[in-house]
Chains A and B, each alone.
Chain A
């Protein structure tokens, strides 16, 4: 899957499916399971339908009619977070659980 077409074209994987959604939505919109299912089904279909190495299947979904998000992504402010080198937990409770040695990190 990809939502960054130019990066995927450069990496040139054997097969890919491109969804033209804002970053952070590579496999769909939140809380829309029917849409998520349709997107993924069409993407997985590329495993059998694509036969030429390096092909990108263009998935037929758009985020919004005016696609206004694209202008922000192309020209908006740099909203990335600083490159902290310590674990960045979603919640304080997560940090405490991890510190208590609860299981299974690699």
Chain B
């Protein structure tokens, strides 16, 4: 999820206003070097890849959200086994009977009861291969997995509702000003202790 201040990727990449330490703590290059030194596989660089795709379509450069400052911090107030967990997922999940998402800057969201029948869940999205999500929504909306962890006692409880949305909203400002505040308000009203975000 993209929830805060926007800035350009170029600004971050060149990092002229950032300390070396800050760049190191944020820097993807640093991560890649670390992985390489461990002999690990290289994660895909999605930012340049998606820039390239937008450029091919004649879109203006996408303004990636970049937050160079240290993020706000709130430790868990109680053990996870006593927490009420919220779930927000951006993979385009809806329940049959609900209006499906569309693919052009859809900032709406769906409210999904966390006791939903898994077979009633549907997936729609413009940017990823939906084959597996339509066979087993748990790959992007881990509802059975979370219910299992509640029965095991790993998590205290789930909030009464999960919230889903569409990814790929071109305007970070609209996410920040329209979508995020509504989700925050609802999650707080459900008295969650913490929230799991599952983007795609």
Contact = CB atoms under 8 A, between A and B. Distances in A.
B73 A53 contact: yes
Nearest to B75: A51
Interface residues of B, number: 86
A88 B41 contact: no
A6 B9 CA distance: 11
B127 interface: yes
Does more than half of chain A's interface fall in helix, strand or loop, or is it mixed?
loop
A48 B79 contact: yes
B45 A74 contact: yes
Given A5-B28, A98-B100, A106-B109, A14 B126 contact: no
Interface residues of A, number: 67
A5 to B, nearest CB: 4
B43 A33 contact: no
Q: Among A12, A22, A80, A97, which residue has the most Cβ atoms of chain B within 10 A?
A: A12
B97 interface: yes
B159 interface: no
Interface string A55-84: 010000010000100100110001111111
Given A7-B47, A44-B80, A105-B98, A94 B122 contact: yes
B43 A14 contact: no
Contacts of A20: 41, 43
A12 B68 contact: yes
Q: Among B111, B138, B140, B149, which residue has the most Cβ atoms of chain A within 10 A?
A: B138
A80 B54 CA distance: 11
A98 B9 contact: no
Given A53-B73, A62-B41, A10 B140 contact: no
Given A11-B1, A23-B129, A27-B139, 4 more contacts: A27-B145, A103-B98, A104-B95, A104-B113
Interface of A: 1-7, 9-14, 18, 20, 22-31, 33, 36-37, 40-41, 43-44, 47-48, 51, 53-54, 56, 62, 67, 70, 73-74, 78-91, 93-95, 97-98, 102-106
7 contacts: A14-B71, A30-B132, A30-B133, A33-B145, A37-B145, A48-B80, A104-B111
